[in-house]
């Protein structure tokens, strides 16, 4: 396996630990290999420590490091005798590093745009921001917001915006769209290239180059690069509940539920049994008791669990 960490010093144990972390992150593991990894981590305290450190490094290794390493390899390999032979490979490496800068794999580190945000929350963190005027922002986990002239930009993540008697419309931009309101409470979620707008009270205008819509209380719409989807009216059980300390899922795919838990939980839960990814799940998840919810899911689907250092949990 190609070492995605780059050429890093370390012992043979460190090298093996990095290979294991890559396999876990890329989901290139069978159930037998997951068991072998667990046994390897338990065989020697140094093994578990090396795996935890490799996992920490994988999460912390940002796009700047990836790009720096790609350029460093290019300099080392730029001697004329090897340039022609390795040119294509280096171009691919540089391209991959560039992609990592814009869209980090697995969301393991912030993108450049997220790093430049005025307000950011870490995994599992929630934060309230009071802006001059009449706007209050509640930021959910892994959210990045930048200040703009007429409001803010939701670069990524999820936020609730409360407006009370603003003298002029407050605007939130996200993924090429504009969400405007004056006296309203609404929530936005910007993940994976799509934006979900939920109006909780008042009225909210959503404007794209291709069209627009106005939402009343308890209405939601989603838009992406393809345009606006039709608005729909929500039941009480469909309304976001993260500000109340829990998540609600009703007939959601198992993979989607675990992905959402991963937005809050330290480490990572990885579903190895991909045949179950689309199975529907209805569950209430307390944010303060994520592992209890995971245990319930394990029991319902009869999944084996392999706990690894660094908060990694393999389900299969």
Confidence at residue 25, expressed as pLDDT on a 0 to 100 scale:
72
Q: What is the CATH number of domain 116-236?
A: 2.60.120.1440
Q: What is 242-315's CATH topology?
A: Phage tail protein beta-alpha-beta fold (3.55.50)
Q: What is the largest CA-CA distance in the chain?
A: 70
Confidence at residue 91, expressed as pLDDT on a 0 to 100 scale:
36
Q: With contact defined as beta carbons under 8 Å apart, do 102 and 76 qualify?
A: no
Residue 82 pLDDT exceeds 60? no
Do 116-236 and 242-315 have matching folds? no
Q: With contact defined as beta carbons under 8 Å apart, do 145 and 118 qualify?
A: yes
* Domain map (residue ranges) of the chain: 12-107, 116-236, 242-315
Q: With contact defined as beta carbons under 8 Å apart, do 179 and 172 qualify?
A: yes
- Confidence class for position 297, pLDDT limits 50, 70, 90: very high
State the Cα–Cα distance between residues 217 and 243, nearest whole angstrom.
Answer: 17
What are the CB-based long-range contacts (under 8 Å, 24+) for 44-53? 44/13, 46/13, 47/13, 47/16, 47/17, 48/309, 49/309, 50/11, 50/13, 50/14, 50/16, 50/17, 51/17, 51/20, 51/21, 51/308, 51/309, 51/310, 52/309, 52/310, 53/14, 53/17
How many angstroms separate the Cα of 176 from the Cα of each of 108, 122, 155, 295?
24, 24, 11, 39
Q: With contact defined as beta carbons under 8 Å apart, do 40 and 58 qualify?
A: no
pLDDT in tens, 115-152: 568 999 999 999 999 998 779 999 999 999 999 887 99
State the Cα–Cα distance between residues 72 and 90, nearest whole angstrom.
Answer: 11
pLDDT in tens, 254-267: 999 999 999 999 88
pLDDT in tens, 209-260: 999 999 999 999 999 999 999 999 999 888 999 999 999 999 999 999 999 9
Confidence at residue 1, expressed as pLDDT on a 0 to 100 scale:
52
């Amino acid at each position: 396996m190609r070492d995605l960490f780059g050429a890093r010093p370390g012992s043979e144990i460190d090298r093996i630990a990095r290979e294991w972390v890559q396999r876990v992150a890329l989901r290139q593991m069978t159930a037998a290999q997951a068991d072998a990894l667990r046994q390897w981590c338990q065989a020697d305290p140094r093994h578990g420590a090396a795996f935890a450190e490799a996992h920490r490094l994988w999460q912390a290794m940002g796009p700047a490091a990836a790009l720096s390493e790609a350029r460093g390899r290019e300099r080392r390999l730029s001697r004329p005798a090897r340039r022609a032979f390795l040119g294509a490979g280096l171009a691919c490496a540089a391209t991959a590093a560039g992609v990592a800068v814009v869209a980090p794999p697995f969301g393991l580190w912030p993108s450049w745009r997220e790093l430049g945000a005025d307000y950011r929350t870490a995994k599992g963190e929630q934060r309230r921001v009071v802006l001059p005027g009449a706007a209050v922002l509640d930021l959910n986990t892994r959210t990045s917001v930048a200040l703009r002239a007429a409001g803010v930009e939701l670069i990524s993540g999820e936020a609730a915006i409360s407006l009370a008697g603003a003298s002029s419309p407050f605007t939130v931009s996200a993924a090429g769209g504009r969400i405007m309101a004056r006296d309203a409470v609404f929530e936005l979620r910007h993940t994976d290239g799509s934006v979900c707008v939920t109006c909780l009270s008042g009225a909210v205008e959503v404007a794209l180059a291709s069209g627009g819509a106005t939402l009343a209380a308890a209405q939601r719409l989603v838009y992406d690069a393809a345009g606006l989807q039709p608005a729909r009216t929500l039941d009480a059980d469909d309304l976001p509940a993260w500000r109340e300390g829990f998540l609600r899922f009703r007939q959601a795919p198992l993979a989607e539920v675990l992905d959402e838990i991963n937005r809050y939980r330290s480490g990572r839960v990885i579903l190895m049994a991909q045949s179950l990814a689309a199975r529907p799940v209805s569950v209430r998840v307390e944010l303060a008791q994520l592992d209890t919810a995971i245990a319930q899911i394990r029991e319902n689907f009869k999944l084996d669990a392999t706990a690894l250092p660094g908060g990694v949990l393999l389900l299969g």
